[in-house]
Amino acid sequence: MDGLKTNSTVIWSDRWRLGSLTTNELMTIGFVSVIIGFLFVLFHLLGNTVENIDSKSAFTWMVARWGDKQSFGADYSHGYLIPFVSLAVIWYKREDFFAAPKQVCQIGLFVIVAALAMHWMGAKMQQTRLSLMSLILLIWGIPLYFFGWKVAKLLIFPCAYLIFCVPLNFLDALSGPLQHIATTMGHSALQGMGIECQRVGTMLRSPYFDLNVEAACSGLRSLLAMTALTAVYAYFTQKTFVKKWVLFIASIPIAVAGNVGRIISIALVSVTSGQKFGTGLHHDWSGYVLFAVAISLMVGFGKLLNVNYRELFTSWKKAYLSHS
């Protein structure tokens, strides 16, 4: 028996046993292990130079920022899932990786040098985020050097997706504008529904409720989560490069629309069931409303992008002419 197969997909092969590997394959595994060890030392032991931080590990610093309750660090709590998604994409494309022609690419060496220089700059500037970006570039540049462009091209998305792991604190500046956008759109929607409502700054006031759209409710968290989710959805469902990017960019207004839907739901529940329930229990669980609206819009817009409108118009034209 050469291996275990299910529906023509190899799950395990005796060829993968340690005793079946050739000398060259063992040397390759050893060389890869050395590279992984080098990256571990470089970024775990020498990755963080920020003062007043106990750990020198860039990984420890990053994970701490994912769960940081100060500022908006908690908006990156989805960071735990990102590496697994990248690995899942690589596993899904494993046959393409094996089939891709492989050759040494000298350009990859320049990418590796540039990434190491970026890490050095990050350490000197005490910008751990820059060091983490350099790690992502190294993860892509090393395969580019050893295996060539065909393999590196397949790695562009899973490597670039790791950027969602990196807490980008400058995005916190979006919180204020998002608050005002959500408040303005929520106010307009409620007025359109005939619900008496007044907007005062980031507050919505009504005889039935007083709803303050605080920074934590600005939609920044949902925006970051939806862009990460939409990136994967667009990668697998859209047929062209342009459509992938159109859907990904659309995740921004989609996330805003989801947050506006959440605000409207809180207001409607407050009107029908009282402010205590609407701004209390329902408010705490209304995130499900946000993602239900946002995911529905994401899937719907993705379906619209995939429609062949020329073929659809031709079929409508034929149907119209046949009945005329």
pLDDT 10s digits, 225-261: 899 999 999 999 998 999 999 999 999 999 889 888 8
Identify whether 209 is part of a domain: yes
Instruction: Indicate whether 42 and 129 sit together in one domain.
Output: yes
Instruction: Indicate whether 181 and 127 sit together in one domain.
Output: no
Instruction: Indicate whether 163 and 94 sit together in one domain.
Output: yes
Instruction: Tell me 148's DSSP state.
Output: -
Residue 64 binned pLDDT confidence (cut-offs 50, 70, 90): confident
C-alpha Rg value of the chain to the nearest Å: 25
Structure token digits, residue 58: 């860039």
Instruction: Indicate whether 181 and 243 sit together in one domain.
Output: yes
Identify whether 318 is part of a domain: no
Instruction: Indicate whether 177 and 162 sit together in one domain.
Output: no
Identify whether 323 is part of a domain: no
d(CA 230, CA 211): 29
pLDDT 10s digits, 284-317: 788 788 888 899 999 999 999 988 878 778 777 7
Residue 73: per-residue pLDDT: 45
d(CA 216, CA 70): 11
Residue 69 binned pLDDT confidence (cut-offs 50, 70, 90): low
Q: Which domain-ending residue is among 167, 201, 217?
A: 167
| For residues 196-221, average pLDDT | 80
Identify whether 321 is part of a domain: no
Instruction: Indicate whether 45 and 133 sit together in one domain.
Output: yes
Lowest mean pLDDT among 3-12, 89-98, 99-108, 141-150: 3-12
Identify whether 265 is part of a domain: yes
Half-sphere exposure of 304 (CA within 13 A, CB side): 9
Residue 170 binned pLDDT confidence (cut-offs 50, 70, 90): confident
Identify whether 81 is part of a domain: yes
Asked if pLDDT for residue 15 goes beyond 70, the answer is no
Alpha-helical (H) ranges within the chain are: 23-40, 58-66, 82-92, 94-99, 107-124, 128-147, 149-160, 175-192, 220-237, 241-273, 275-278, 281-285, 287-306, 309-323
DSSP lists the bridge partners of residue 6 as: 9
Q: Is the four-CA dihedral 141, 143, 146, 152 of positive or negative sign?
A: negative
Asked if pLDDT for residue 132 goes beyond 80, the answer is yes
Range of the domain at 106: 3-167
Residue 17: per-residue pLDDT: 61
Cβ proximity of 107 and 68 under 8 Å: no
DSSP lists the bridge partners of residue 3 as: 13
Q: Which domain-ending residue is among 141, 167, 193?
A: 167
Instruction: Indicate whether 139 and 269 sit together in one domain.
Output: no
Residue 291: per-residue pLDDT: 86
Measured from the Cβ of residue 313, the count of other Cβ atoms closer than 10 Å reads 10
Instruction: Indicate whether 244 and 160 sit together in one domain.
Output: no
Identify whether 133 is part of a domain: yes
The rounded percent of the chain whose pLDDT value lies above 90 is 29
Cβ proximity of 235 and 244 under 8 Å: yes
Instruction: Indicate whether 188 and 150 sit together in one domain.
Output: no
Residue 4: per-residue pLDDT: 52
Q: Which domain-ending residue is among 167, 186, 210?
A: 167
* Mean pLDDT for the chain overall: 83
Instruction: Indicate whether 21 and 93 sit together in one domain.
Output: yes
Query: pTM of the full predicted structure?
Result: 0.81
| For residues 208-216, average pLDDT | 77
Instruction: Indicate whether 134 and 225 sit together in one domain.
Output: no
Asked if pLDDT for residue 135 goes beyond 60, the answer is yes
- Domain total of the chain: 2
Residue 72: per-residue pLDDT: 44
Asked if pLDDT for residue 283 goes beyond 50, the answer is yes
Pairing of strands 210-212, 203-205: antiparallel
Instruction: Indicate whether 65 and 128 sit together in one domain.
Output: yes
